[in-house]
Every structure is written in C-alpha cells, then in structure tokens.
Amino acid sequence: MEKQTTIKDIAIALNISTSTVSRALRDAPDVKAETKAAVKALSDKLDYQPNRLALSLLNRQTNTIGVIIPNLDYVLATMVKGIDEVALEAGYTVMVCQSDESYGREIVNTKRLLESLVDGFIVSVSSETKIFEHIKKIQDKKIPLVLFDRIVNNIAAPKIRLDNIDGGVQATEHLIEQGYKKIAILAGPENLNISNKRMEGYLQTLKANGLRADKGHIIHCDFNQQYAYEATKELLASKNRPDAIFTISDRMAIGAMLAIKEKGLSMPHDIGLVGFNNEPIVSLVTPAISSVEMYAFEIGKATARAYIEMMSGAAGMSNQEIIIKPKLFIRTSSKRR
Amino acid sequence: MEKQTTIKDIAIALNISTSTVSRALRDAPDVKAETKAAVKALSDKLDYQPNRLALSLLNRQTNTIGVIIPNLDYVLATMVKGIDEVALEAGYTVMVCQSDESYGREIVNTKRLLESLVDGFIVSVSSETKIFEHIKKIQDKKIPLVLFDRIVNNIAAPKIRLDNIDGGVQATEHLIEQGYKKIAILAGPENLNISNKRMEGYLQTLKANGLRADKGHIIHCDFNQQYAYEATKELLASKNRPDAIFTISDRMAIGAMLAIKEKGLSMPHDIGLVGFNNEPIVSLVTPAISSVEMYAFEIGKATARAYIEMMSGAAGMSNQEIIIKPKLFIRTSSKRR
DNA sequence: AGCGTTGCCGGTAACGTTATCGGAAATTAT
DNA sequence: ATAATTTCCGATAACGTTACCGGCAACGCT
C-alpha cells in the first residue's frame, strides 16, 4: 500500500542508472561484478519485488491464464487443481472466476479479464449459457482460448473433455448385463451438452440391446440432489416403475438412493443404481454406488497442457479435441450377478 | 494476442488527442457532446476495452484481491464463493491461489501476488505452515491483510473465523446429553489450530461433566477419510471401546461410519457419531449424521466485507476478530433419546 | 602513436492511461 | 468593440520496467 521499492530507489541509492540496476538484476554480462553485487545486496535488503504490471504492460503479456468456470463443485475443483498444477509449473499464474452458473456473471467475468489482465482463456461454460458472443469475442481479438469439460460445439478451439457418450454407454451396458430391463435416467438440465451426451450413450445402448426407453423414464432435472430425490420418488411411484436408475452425477445418485431407501426398496436387488463422477463419497455410503470415473484431475492437466502448447506453437491453434475415456467402477449398488 | 484497440487508435482515427478520447470515454464535462458521441461510437465499433494494467500502474492499485487457500474442499470452496460474491459486487477482482497444503507453494503464491498484482491479501494458511515470515512480509510492506478460517494467532490482522471451541462444546455436550459416556475424538493434524480448538471444546466439556478423556480416545490423523476409517477400526477393536465418536470433519465422519457399519455396530444405539461442517452429504447417508454447521458461506462474505472495510477506512487496520457461532444439527446418528 | 576492440554504463523511448496545466477559439458581458 | 468568461481541446509528465543505441574509458595491437 505504502510504496513498493522500485528499481529507481536502488539506482538513486547507489548513484547509478536504472538501466544498470535492471541489467544487474537480470545478471546481464555487461555489468561489472562489483556493481552487480552492490545492486543485489541492496535489492535484498530493501526486499525489492519487480512490478509485474510494468513488465506486462511493456511486453504485452501477463503470463496469467483466465479460468472461467460455472462453479466449484467437486469435479470442477478437481479440474482446477489439475490446471493449477501444470500452469504453476510452467510459470503461469491462474485467475479463477466462477460464473455461478449465471450467464450474466460469465459475461462480466469475461469482460473484466479481457481488460488486458490475462493473455489467454480456459473456459467451461455455465449451464445457463446459450449465446456465445462473449466467447467469440475472445477469439475475434485473437486471444488464445481453450475449452474444457462443458465445451461449446460451434466454436473452433482446442477442446478437452470426457467421452460422455461412452460414459453413458458403459453405465447402461453394465446395467443391462446385470439383468436390469427398465432403466431410467436422471439427466441434467436440457441444454447442457455433457448431460445430453451421457443420455445419448444411454439411448444408443438401449437401442443396441433391443430395449426401448420409456418416455417417462427420462427425467431432466437440475444437478441439485434435492431435485433428484423428488424425481426418483415420482419414478418409483409411477405405474411403469423402473428397475434401475442411471444418474448423470453422484450428487443425484445420492438423492436417488435416499428416495429408494425411503420406499423400502433394496439395491441392487430391487433396483440398480449407477452414478457419474466417482466422487470419493460414493464408496463410503451403503450400498456403495457404482459410478463412472471421469478423471477430472487428468482433464485439468491436459487442458493446461493444451493451453501451453497453443501459446508456444505460434502456428495457429490446432483446434484438436482431446477426449478422455471414462471408466465405470462397479460397486454394490448395481452388482447383482 | 494480436493487438488490443487502444485509446490512441481511436484518437488517430478521429484526428483528436488521446486526452480528449480519455475524457470523452469517462464522460467528462469539458468535451463537446458531438465529440463524445463520435468517440463512443468508434470505441463500440472497435470493441475498445481499457487496459487495466496501464491504469493499475498509474494509480498504484489493481482492485484485485489475492486469496490464498490451502485447497478447494467443500468448506473452502464455499468460503471462496462467499468472498467472490461480495468482492465482485464491490468491484474487486479475486485471484485465488491454492497452496495445496504445501508451505512451499504458499510462499511461491505469496511472492507472485506481491509483484504488484494485488493490493491486498485474504489468507487461510496451509496445515503445513509453521513459519509465518511470508505473511509478516505482507504486513511489513503495509499491504492490507485479512486472515480467515485457519488464522494465525501471533499476527495482528482482522480475523474471521468460526468459534471452533464452541463447535466442540456443542457436539460433545449433545453426546453427553444423549447418554454417551466414552466419547472419542478424531482430531485433525496436530498443528492445525482449528482442529485443536475443536478438541479444546471437547476436552472442556468432558471435564465440566466429570468425564475423563481416555488418552487412547484422542486420535490425531489427517483429514483424509481413509485415515479416519482406519483409525475408527482401531478404536472399535480396542479394549476400552468408545460409545461415541466426534470427528472434526464430515469426511472423517463418513470414514468412521463405514468402519462402524463394517463392525456390525448400529448408530445411534451402539455408537453415537457427530461430524463437523454440515456438508450436504451428511443428511443423505444412512443414518443421517449429526454435524456442526460452520456457515462457511457467511464466513466468506464476512471476510470480504472486512477486507473492503479495511481498504476504505484509511485509519489503520482495526484488527478486529469476527467470530461466527456454529450450530449443531442433530440427526439420527447421535439421537437416541 | 594511432587504431580498433572491449568493458561498462547512461539516456531515451516505449507500453496505455489519466491528471494537470495551459491555451486557442467561441461566447457573453460591458 | 473590447474585455471577461466559458468551452473545448492538446501537450506533457508520470506509473515501473526493459530494449536499444550510443558513448566514454581502458586496453591491446600493429
């Protein structure tokens, strides 16, 4: 707050020019060893810290990555951890902004970071976001952009995401193998790509196995576990009661589990249950819930790596799509054979 | 990446000076309406964004808060959300850096942010941090600092934290009221203040009720649920088996629950269980786990408010300590009367 | 002795913005 | 018509840093 020590302070104190101080600090070859020593000693004593703002202004780069995410739930926090780890290693600073699943806040965040605070973006869009002008604006300004997890299809950028369809396939195939016939799905919000892809895998697999999805067995609801609980209660009360439920998040799986227990049904006997994300919690409840691991930490790391690659490879963004394969972890909630 | 539109571009295009453009954009009174209109039109067209770096350099303030946290678990993520909400509202940008519970990374993060990137700090120290020179350095430079959650005692700064002792008291009193006599505690890492305070409340309450804490009933272990599971198994196998367990986090409570069930004991009959944090998950497992709510979101908001107050009140930091009262939520796992 | 070379350092401009001052032109008052 | 005021705008410096250029010594070479 007061006044940071600057290169000028050192220069005046030693009665030399700022240029020389600057060179001395960077260990340039054309500075006398003696001078260097004096500069370094004083800089240590005054606890000099270079002013990154001045540097960034000069070089037109901040070495900062703007990360925009919809929230900080388990999966995204894990991904951010992955991004952070790789970015820090490579000398980047990360600026995380949550949009809180709000389109408006996503725009505000983008705008702020665009004020020359970052030299690139890593974005996962909010579930509310249906218009992508703010994302396109980033690209119009030729600012590097990487999309991850909740990607946007009609934007050309490197994308790192889970193979969500495959996740849906693995979960559904497993349930069918276990002999379940009437498999319901608790899908997420309607316009959410990841949710729809998981459902696509579910539908594909049903079809491939000659099963038909009852329309009443496809429920769109928010990620919230409360909604999942309510939705499951309705499902279980319906005429055509499902004998298995696939939820596209673990939160929802736990909500579903609660409703199932309340109804007095047993897992995996009466009803099979498979969740998504493989959060630590699923193996700690009873019965332990089968879940699709999405390797969030790996996705985070891959995302940061793609970003770094894009920054170094001046040769235009490659727009590759990295697709991580999920893996179903089978537990008690769905294993009846 | 290419080149952002600057005030200069607009000035040249309209054949006026940069000063005039600057004033026009800020709606200064001494600019002709006509000129203003022209400037604004062109600035919109070119999608001009002011360069915050230049501004920050000039004003010696960034309007950015550096938030340093040990990790992004449920509690801290919630607190960050609270900070974020208040800070955004007040026009601040937040830079979140995780130290990943590492002393080294905490120092690196502090150092980076000190390079004039932020004009104040909000810090929760890592569990590994025992030396606080890096924190003191912040204060030596007269840079505003607020501590929250995992605070540091011998540093004078505004502090916002939970009344951890009271949390321990509430949990323990409740267990005693329910008739439990041999109450064990799964405490966190030894040098972690919040963990010790919760234990202090536990010890106080035992003493006040004429109970003695068996040394074997006080277990220090990492926050990790796996450790809690192992530790509980040992507890249950010991000669002097406890009839209740108080864990200082919900993660640990769930680990404990798992061990209890495995042993074939029932809650709340054979064993009472109380956790800490009141994470959503505790009400979704069976039995639902009693837990101490710590109002993480409120703590986050109060922290940001304290920061803002400190920034505005030029009259020295007040160094007040805001202490949030926790509240025990009683659920099945410990209610046997 | 004169020349080129090397070692070391200082001055200047630039990054994008705004505060401050000063001044020309236009308007009003006398 | 002249003075006084207002309206509007431009030039400059500054924030902290480094790249670039240039220059003065001192040294070595012929």
- Partners of B327 in beta bridges: B293
Over the stretch B208-233, which tens digit does the pLDDT of each residue have?
999 998 999 999 987 777 789 999 99
Q: What homologous superfamily is domain B63-162+296-322 in, according to CATH?
A: Response regulator (3.40.50.2300)
CA dihedral B180, B186, B192, B194 (to 10 degrees): -40
Tokens 């106080």 found at: B204
Over the stretch A117-171, which tens digit does the pLDDT of each residue have?
999 999 999 988 889 999 999 999 999 999 999 999 889 999 999 999 999 999 9
DSSP state of A282: G
pLDDT category of residue A332 using cuts at 50, 70 and 90: very high
Instruction: Show the tokens assigned to B225.
Output: 């649920």
- Domain spans, chain A: 7-50, 62-162+296-324, 164-294+328-334
pLDDT for B198 equals: 97
pLDDT category of residue A1 using cuts at 50, 70 and 90: low
Indicate whether B316 pLDDT > 60: no
| Mean pLDDT calculated for residue range B124-134 | 92
Would A7-50 and A62-162+296-324 be classified into the same CATH topology? no
Residue A25: CB less than 7 A from any atom in strand D: yes
Chain-chain contact of A97 with B97 (C-beta, under 8 angstroms): no
Identify whether the C-beta of residue B302 lies closer than 8 Å to the C-beta of residue B111: no
Q: Cα(B34)–Cα(A125) distance, rounded to whole angstroms?
A: 40
- Partners of A219 in beta bridges: A186
How high is the mean pLDDT of chain B?
93
Residue A12: CB less than 7 A from any atom in strand D: no
Q: Which residues contact A83 (CB under 8 A, 6 or more apart)?
A: A65, A67, A94, A122, A300, A301, A303, A304
- Distance, Å, B59 CA → D24 C1': 39
Determine the nucleotide nearest to B59 by Cα–C1' distance: D15
Q: Cα(B194)–Cα(B164) distance, rounded to whole angstroms?
A: 6
- Coil, helix or strand for B277? strand
Identify whether the C-beta of residue A244 lies closer than 8 Å to the C-beta of residue A209: no
HEC readout, A175-195? HHHCCCCCEEEEECCCCCHHH
Residue B8: CB less than 7 A from any atom in strand C: yes
Indicate whether B184 pLDDT > 70: yes
Instruction: Show the tokens assigned to A329.
Output: 């972890």
How high is the mean pLDDT of chain A?
93
pLDDT for B1 equals: 60
DSSP assignment of B247-274, as one string?
A: ESSHHHHHHHHHHHHHTT--TTTT-EEE
pLDDT category of residue B192 using cuts at 50, 70 and 90: confident
Chain-chain contact of B1 with A77 (C-beta, under 8 angstroms): no
Instruction: Show the tokens assigned to B61.
Output: 């303030």
Of the given ranges (A218-222, B49-53, B142-146), which has the lowest mean pLDDT? A218-222
| Mean pLDDT calculated for residue range B169-178 | 98
Indicate whether B2 pLDDT > 70: no
Residues of chain B positioned with their CB less than 8 A from the CB of A1: 119-120, 141-144
Give the rounded distance of the alpha carbon of A221 from its chain centre. Answer: 21
Of the given ranges (A114-118, B52-56, B143-147), which has the lowest mean pLDDT? A114-118
Identify whether the C-beta of residue B218 lies closer than 8 Å to the C-beta of residue B173: no
Q: Cα(A318)–Cα(B2) distance, rounded to whole angstroms?
A: 17
- CATH fold of B164-294+328-334: Rossmann fold (3.40.50)
Q: Which residues contact B334 (CB under 8 A, 6 or more apart)?
A: B174, B175, B178, B180, B244, B267, B268, B272, B273, B274, B289, B290
pLDDT category of residue A283 using cuts at 50, 70 and 90: confident
Q: Which CATH number does A62-162+296-324 carry? A: 3.40.50.2300
pLDDT for A295 equals: 98
Tally of CA atoms within 13 A in the half-sphere of B327 that contains its CB: 3
Chain-chain contact of B49 with A115 (C-beta, under 8 angstroms): yes
Cβ neighbours around A147 below 10 Å, total: 24
Q: Cα(A167)–Cα(A172) distance, rounded to whole angstroms?
A: 9
pLDDT category of residue B281 using cuts at 50, 70 and 90: confident
DSSP state of B332: G
Q: Cα(B10)–Cα(B17) distance, rounded to whole angstroms?
A: 9
pLDDT category of residue B191 using cuts at 50, 70 and 90: confident
The top-level CATH class assigned to B7-50 is: mainly alpha
Nearest to A113 by CA among A100, A125, A96: A96
